[in-house]
C-alpha cells in the first residue's frame, strides 16, 4: 500500500513526505531554515493543512492572513510544483523567493512571491509575502 511513507513530498525535494515535510507537519521537528519552512508551508497548502499554516505564521502578522480564503483556495487548487528562485538568511531574518505552480478549474497559474521570515526562540515563522509580477510572453 502506498502512503505518505513512500509518496514524494509535494515541496519537490525528491525525498518522501515522511522524510521531508511530514515531521514538520506532525510537530515532531521544526523547520531548520527559512527555505525548509517555505517548502513545508507549500506542502501544507497542497495537503490542506491549515492549522500548520496558522501555527507557522508570525503571531505579529497572523491577523493579516485570511485563513478562510486560503482554505477555500487550497481546496480548489491542484498543486503542481514549487520552484525556489532564491533563499537567504541573515541571523534571525530570512527571505525566500519562489514560484508555486498550480491549477484551478483546469487553468494553470504561477504564484511568484518573495516571502519574509523571522526566527524566534529557535523557530522560523512566515512574516509576510510580496507578489512579484510576471512578464507575459
Which pLDDT does position 2 carry in this prediction? 46
d(CA 82, CA 22): 16
Instruction: Write the pLDDT tens digit of every residue in 9-38.
Output: 999 999 999 999 999 999 999 999 999 999
Q: Span 65-77, mean pLDDT?
A: 89
Q: Where are the beta strands (DSSP E) in 16-105?
A: 77-90, 93-104
Which pLDDT does position 111 carry in this prediction? 94
| Integer angstrom CA distances of residue 23 from 27, 50, 82, 104 | 6, 16, 19, 28
d(CA 106, CA 100): 16
Amino acid at each position: 500500500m502506498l502512503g505518505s511513507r513512500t509518496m514524494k513530498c509535494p515541496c519537490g525535494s525528491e525525498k518522501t513526505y515522511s522524510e521531508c515535510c511530514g515531521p514538520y507537519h506532525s510537530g515532531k521537528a521544526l523547520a531548520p531554515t527559512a527555505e525548509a519552512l517555505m517548502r513545508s508551508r507549500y506542502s501544507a497548502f497542497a495537503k490542506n493543512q491549515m492549522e500548520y499554516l496558522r501555527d507557522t505564521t508570525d503571531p505579529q502578522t497572523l491577523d493579516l492572513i485570511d485563513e478562510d480564503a486560503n482554505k477555500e483556495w487550497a481546496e480548489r487548487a491542484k498543486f503542481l510544483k514549487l520552484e525556489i528562485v532564491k533563499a537567504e538568511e541573515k541571523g534571525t531574518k530570512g527571505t525566500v523567493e519562489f514560484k508555486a505552480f498550480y491549477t484551478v478549474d483546469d487553468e494553470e497559474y504561477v504564484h511568484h512571491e518573495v516571502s519574509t521570515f523571522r526566527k524566534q526562540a529557535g523557530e522560523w515563522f512566515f512574516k509576510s509575502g510580496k507578489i512579484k509580477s510576471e512578464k507575459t510572453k
